[in-house]
Amino acid sequence: MPDVVGCLPMDASLPSSGTEGRDRAVGLAGESRRLWQEGRFDEAVRRLESAAACDPLNPEICLGLGKALATRARYAEAREWMHKACTLAPGSLPVRFQAAVYWHQVGRADEALALLEEALRLDPAHPGALLLTGEIREHRHELEGAEEVLERIRARAPGHPGGAFLEARVRRRRGDLTGAEGHVRVLVADRRLPAELRYRAWVELGQVLDLQGRWDEAMQAFHQGKQLLIPQAGPWWAALQGVQREAERMLAQSETLGVGRWRESLPGLGAEQRLALLCGHPRSGTTLLEQVLESHPGVVSAEETRILHDEAYLPLTWGEDPRLGVAELLDRVDPPALRAARERYVGGMERFLEGPLGGRLLLDKNPAFTILLLPLARIFPEARLLFMIRDPRDVILSCFMQPLPLNPVSSAYLTLDRTVAQYRDAMSFLLALRPRLGNPWRQVHYEEFIRDPGAGAAGILSFLGLPWDPRVLDHTGRARGRWVKSPTYADVTQPIHARAVGRWKRYAGHLEPHLGPIQPLLDHLGYGPDGLA
């Protein structure tokens, strides 16, 4: 929920509309927060709009409303409210910095950078604004720009730990592994630093050591970093176990109900939507395949949005018996409700993309949303499904090596045993469910695709009903201009290579004691001791 902190001004210099208007706005903000938590996002936004009407001079309300609208992909309106907040507080750095943080959180780097420039004009030494500017520049592959920011940090905030971390990351990307290692070793040794920063530093150290071929030391660094987050992970792990229980229930109901017959409802759902879901498992190569396919002029992609869940599926659950399972609930939905869900989904995607689909095929890339396969099959029985498959051992290693923030899925990636268990559960669910669905699907092996990208892309395009276009083999230029959410965003600008194939063998001694639970999956997917058979 957008944090409007009770709609109170952030400091005494900021304006407000008086006690009565402010108190009314506080109540409306509380209602908005409750509605947001219930998943009634548009109602929550309307409450915030009412709060802004009651206290129109409060820039913090404008910021909260701007963030809510940005989260809903209503970007044009969000820009207006962010601008109003800054106008109401012309000399306030906190307003501009917080607005920049909001834009960064929704992946809108240009808007964030513009506000950070304003903030730094007010205070050229503000460490938060400098660091966020540098992080965005580095994420966008603008390493020279990031280095310019680092010079300013060294001059104005020498010794800042965030600056040291950014310096390490930039040096790693420049190939200065010795310099990168030196910076992160200082950070991991400082126990006064927040656990989150030390965790990221340990994982960064592990990645530097991996590049140096010091694999035993790298694995030790990954373990050291993960240990720092385990005390905080309990609620997230419990949530993941709840998802797994629902997945097991979903499988049982899908078999009983015969969900493959949902495809028969297609004639009553209106015009067919050109839609493909790209899924599989995190770290299986979905980002690479998305970048390749989106280089086709007949494709537009959306990366890891919540639109399928929030816009299409969630409203179908309102007013239903909460004891119903997902498959049972979906089976009861009538055609008018399904048509409305389809319209909400397409509308949400067009807002997110800031333009109409225009007859292009929409590629919804969501590797972690395998649990939403059943809602997708009910709402869009015509959608095509692409499953990216990669050697499970490489996937497990890659998941364990990433500095992911805590959420239900990443809570499993804090130990090797849990990483293996999460992969087993997610992939077992996918493999059991997909033959029951009526949707056409295609499996793509990462290793085969990178061995012959042209042949792989041609087969996938044919499956999607698209003609061959050679631009799909030149995806790196387009990737440089995109904000990529994947933790390995730096790789998308590189030509397709096989360096990550069989990477697990470098860590075989660490991995093999944990791999017993996935041996049936290795056999089923065709992976032997030397990789894909």
Residues 155 and 268 in one domain: no
With contact defined as beta carbons under 8 Å apart, do 48 and 62 qualify? no
Task: Specify whether 446 is located in the same domain as 382.
Answer: yes
Domain-embedded: residue 222? no
Domain count, the chain: 2
Amino acid at 183: H
Q: How far is CA 385 from the centre of its chain?
A: 19
Q: What is the pLDDT of residues 481-533, one digit of tens each?
A: 565 665 666 666 677 777 889 999 999 999 999 999 999 999 999 999 999 98
Does residue 44 belong to any structural domain of this protein?
A: yes
- Any idea what DSSP says for residue 385? E
Q: 206 in a domain, yes or no? A: no
Residue whose structure tokens are 């929030």: 310
Range of the domain at 42: 5-189
- Domain end, chosen from 150, 170, 189, is at 189
Strand order, beta sheet including 361-365: 299-303, 361-365, 275-279, 384-389, 441-445
In a domain, 182, yes or no: yes
178 and 257 co-located in one domain: no
Q: Which residue has the tokens 């387009």?
A: 478
Q: Rounded to the nearest 10 degrees, what angle do helices 177-189 and 195-211 cross at? A: 150
Please tell me whether residues 266 and 361 are part of one structural domain.
Answer: yes
CATH code of the domain in which 474 resides: 3.40.50.300
Q: What pLDDT is recorded for position 474?
A: 86
Among 168, 189, 210, the domain-final residue is 189
pLDDT on residue 17: 58
Domain shared by 172 and 254, yes or no: no
163 and 284: one domain?
A: no
Instruction: Provide the CATH number for the domain around residue 30.
Output: 1.25.40.10
Q: Tell me: do 370 and 482 sit in the same domain.
A: yes
Full pLDDT tens readout for the chain, 533 residues = 444 433 334 444 555 556 778 889 999 999 999 999 999 999 999 999 999 999 999 999 999 999 999 999 999 999 999 999 999 999 999 999 999 999 999 999 999 999 999 999 999 999 999 999 999 999 999 999 999 999 999 999 899 999 999 999 999 999 999 999 999 999 999 999 999 999 999 999 999 999 999 999 999 999 999 999 999 999 999 999 999 999 999 999 998 888 999 999 999 999 999 999 999 999 999 999 999 999 999 999 999 999 999 999 999 999 999 899 999 999 999 999 999 999 999 999 999 999 999 999 999 999 877 889 999 999 999 999 999 999 999 999 999 999 999 999 999 999 999 999 999 999 999 999 999 999 999 999 999 999 999 999 999 999 999 999 999 998 776 655 565 665 666 666 677 777 889 999 999 999 999 999 999 999 999 999 999 98
pTM of the entire predicted model:
0.92
532 belongs to a structural domain: no
Q: Are residues 171 and 275 in the same domain?
A: no
Position 530 in a domain: no
**Two structure tokens written together for 246:** 């629902």
**20 & 158 share domain:** yes
CB 383 within 8 A of CB 377: yes
Are residues 74 and 160 both part of a single domain? yes
Do 394 and 303 lie in a common domain? yes
Per-residue pLDDT tens digits for 204-221: 999 999 999 999 999 999
CA distances in angstroms from 66 to 4, 27, 120, 483, 502, listed in the order given: 10, 18, 21, 20, 45
pLDDT of 490: 64
**Rounded Cα–Cα distance for residues 4 and 64 (Å):** 5
Residues 353, 286, single domain; the answer is yes
218 within some domain: no
Residue 228 located in a structural domain: no
